[in-house]
Structure 1
Amino acid sequence: MTVEQPANFDIEPTAASPIDPTHSDVKVIRRKLNGYVGFANLPKQWHRKSIRRGFSLNLMVVGEKSLGKSTLINTLFNRELYPVEETTKAQFPDPEEQVSVSIETVSTDIEENNVKLNLTVIDCPGFGDAVNNTDSWKPIVDEICTRFDRYLEAETKVNRATIADDRVHACLYFIEPTGHSLKSLDINFMKQVHEKVNLIPIIAKSDTLTENEIASFKQRILDDLHNQGIKLFSPPSYENDDEDTVLANAEIMSKSPFAIVGSTNQIQTPDGRMVRGRSYPWGIIEIDNEEHCDFIKLRQLLIRNFMEELKETTANKLYENYRTAKLKKLGIEQDDTVFREFDPVLKQEEEKQLHEAKLATMEAQMRSVFQQKVSREEKKLQETEADLFAKHKEMRDKLLKQIKMLEEKKKELELAKPAYHNSDPAPLPTNAPTKTRKGFLR
């Protein structure tokens, strides 16, 4: 419900009411705004919406067998999601039997103070149980990527009104309490998943170690993670966080990796209190006592303080990185120009540049065509000129030959002419009859 500040009211006189003629003036209450808008109630609106919609959390637990995974989940949510197995005899796997890693999912709805939580726990039985565990992490990584792919496929559909978020929001990795350092299986698994899921390491069954052993074991684990470049979940910090909040968050993260003891059994302490814990001949370990284990800090990290941060980190960072790599692998690149705001002046300038580029291209094409035509005509003229020169040479040769022949004939005639002039002409006969010409020429 939205609570507003009291408004200012002014009483103003008005004209006499026609209904009651005995009173000359009637006082009317008019409400005036005092500058209050109401957006300060937005958190309340979001709270109502969240309560109506409910919350969801997808939690993955990974670890070797008999490290207390099911017991811890039951302890975290105070509900028996997994049946508690009571084993009185140690069980050892058959070396010849092939053990495969499987994926099991358990979902339930939990309600607390009218707040509903849809919890999904993803268990990976068979992890680390085989003799050769070289590739035992592959089914788990495939499951995480498959859930990312399903979400990406749902995003690309036409109707995206309801998208079921089944991505893994956090992964609790259980480390065997050896007290030495991480095994090769632990390092290989965490190196494969630390960029795909919020990784939270847990030292299982920490009641088998002393306080000094736990402290040194934590330091060795952190050194191994730092040397291998493995990233753990770190909650974001905000500018408006007060000093107490910053200190509380730092205290929670200082406990990582969390030394955990899980139990749902109610045990009575020597002072008469009923607590959840484990009873030993040397004493009682209280689950909800921060001096005994880090269960309270883990619960604050997962549920009380940073559950939404886990989901936001999964959606905004881990999933986006996976989505970007997936689309780039398919050959899809981001075109930022489609998100640019429309500017008429800039649009006109771009059209002008495109038009000028088009004109330059057309001019270059026309120049190329013209050059080709000129080259063809020049080639034709050169061929014609060569033909003319050849014909001219042929005619000239013919004329020179004729001239030479005529000169030779002239020389022959000149040589024959003197012999003709030196010889005496033959005498005419005396009695030869003379011809007389008739006509006007006589």
Structure 2
Amino acid sequence: MSAPEVQDYVGFDTITQQMERKFLKRGFNLNVILVGESGMGKSTLVNSIFSTHLVDSQGRRTAQEVIRKTTEISPVTQTLEENGVRVRLTIIDTPGFGDQCNNEGCWVPVIKYIKDQHAAYLARELKPFRDRIINDTRVHACLYFLNPGSRGLRPLDVEVLKRLTEVTNVIPVIAKSDSMTTDERTLFKRRVKEEMAFHRISVYPYACDDDVDEDRALNASIRDLIPFAVVGSEETIDVDGTVVRGRRHGWGVINIFDEAHCDFVHLRNFMLRTHLSDLIEVTAQRHYEQFRTSQLRQIKELRDQQSAAAAAGAVPPGAVVAQQQPPSAPLPHQPMAQA
């Protein structure tokens, strides 16, 4: 009689399957903010990326409509599902941004919104009895639209990009790149890269020392494409019996899925197929962590000052205790629509 075989297989390699089942059941949040002037095709591009009609244009449709004098925040939330994976997608538009003769401070509502979401998440995280799963309203990506007629970064672009890159993952795109020739587009990209390097503007994806060779090569190829020259379209066009999604011009047809025509496919693959998880992770570990550290340090300094004042007899002890709680964070902006 032969001895029974020893089973050496333990089974901890199934943890990825366990995590996948839990992740699929719970779903995830993806929050993208669109920053750019009116008429840059922001809504059309987002609808093209997700192959569905998510948001309507926030621009003026008639001459009678009132011109926005300030930057507004317009979030729209929908739940999408693909092959069993569910995402709660929030698109935040910023109508009125950069549309005035004097655009000083037009970025303030945008920065405030992003920081408000960090503050709201921190407030929920610091609750004595917090939720097991905190609803994540933090902005994971910012699509910043460059005007193709500017031929480079304007002073407004430099100022806003400097501020945005401190609080979120910025992905610059050249809006309506079909309005440029191939040579103009190449020159535009080169100028933007040189100007971002000169002004020390670091956009996503960031260089990390712990990246493996494969990730390092992928990120390098993406940085070569930045800023992405994009064209969005929700229209289908018949070209010699082949239906394509694109735009028809007097000189021909732009197929947004043709890599020779624009970088739309590269942008979509970058955001959704290769770096979606990383966008969420970097938001939590880089931008939110910096905000959280800064806020907790301020709270500690305030408590130390109050304790010192109480010890010196300048403040009654009861007043110190009453102010020990961390400041309440502003509530997150509520979505306008929800599926």
Q: Is residue 2:202 matched to residue 1:231?
A: yes
Partner of 2:45: 72
The Cα offsets for residues 193-237 of structure 1, whole Å up to 9 and x where unpaired, read as 111000110100000111111111111111111111211011566
Residue 231 of structure 2 is aligned to residue 261 of structure 1: yes
CA contact (8 A) 2:148 2:174 kept: yes
Given that 1:236 and 1:309 are in contact with CA atoms closer than 8 Å, whether structure 2 keeps it comes out as no
Aligned-partner residue type, residue 54 of structure 1: G
Q: Map 1:200-211 to 2 at 5 A.
A: 200-211=171-182
Partner of 2:321: none
Which of 221, 236, 249 pairs up with 1:251?
221
Contact 1:179 1:213 survives alignment (8 Å): no
In 2, Cα distance between equivalents of 1:57 and 1:159: 25
RMSD after superposition:
2.5
Quickly say closer, same or farther: Cα 1:152–1:309, change in 2 above 3 A: same
* Structure 2 CA distance for partners of 1:242 and 1:321, relative to 1, 3 Å: closer
SS in 1 for 2:300: coil
The answer to whether the 8 Å contact 2:205/2:219 transfers is: no
> Closer, same or farther in 2 for the Cα pair 1:106/1:238, shift >3 Å?
same
Shift of 1:330: 2.9
TM-score (norm 2): 0.82
Give the alignment of 1:42-441 within 5 angstroms: 42-83=15-56, 99-160=69-130, 161-178=132-149, 180-234=151-205, 241=212, 243=214, 246-270=216-240, 272-332=241-301
Query: 1:57·1:169 contact (CA, 8 Å) conserved in 2?
Result: yes
Q: Residue 225 of structure 2 aligns to a residue in which SS?
A: coil
Cα offsets for 1:319-372 (capped at 9, x unmatched): 111111222223359xxxxxxxxxxxxxxxxxxxxxxxxxxxxxxxxxxxxxxx
Task: Give the residue type in structure 1 aligned to 2:118.
Answer: F
Greater CA drift, 209-218 or 229-238: 229-238
Alignment check: 8 A CA contact 2:121 2:138 kept: yes
Residues 387-441 of structure 1: CA deviation (Å, up to 9, x unaligned): xxxxxxxxxxxxxxxxxxxxxxxxxxxxxxxxxxxxxxxxxxxxxxxxxxxxxxx
Mapped contact 1:179–1:214 kept (Cα < 8 A): no
CA distances 1:272-298 after superposition (whole Å, capped 9, x unpaired):
211111111211111111111111111
Q: Is the 8 A contact 1:171 1:200 kept in 2?
A: yes
Structure-1 separation of matches of 2:59 and 2:298: 49
Per-residue deviation, 1:250: 2.8
Instruction: State how far apart, in whole Å, the 1-side matches of 2:301 and 2:60 are.
Output: 54
User: Residue by residue, what CA displacement relative to the aligned partner does 1:52-110 show, whole Å, maximum 9, x if unpaired?
Assistant: 11121000001000000000010010111123689998x6998xx77011111100011
- Identify unmatched segments of 5+ residues in structure 2: 303-339
Whole-angstrom distance in 1 between the partners of 2:243 and 2:237? 6
1:159 CA displacement: 1.8
How many residue pairs align between the two structures? 301
Q: 1:41 aligns with which of 14, 17, 21?
A: 14
* Conserved? CA contact 1:179–1:209, under 8 Å: no
Give distance in 2, aligned partners of 1:274 and 1:170: 31
Structure 2: how far apart are the matches of 1:109 and 1:238? 36
Larger Rg: 1
Counterpart for residue 346 of structure 1: none
Q: Assess, with a 3 A threshold, how the Cα gap between structure 1 residues 321 and 250 changes in structure 2: closer, same or farther.
A: same
2:288 aligned counterpart, secondary structure: helix
Q: 1: distance between equivalents of 2:112 and 2:139?
A: 12
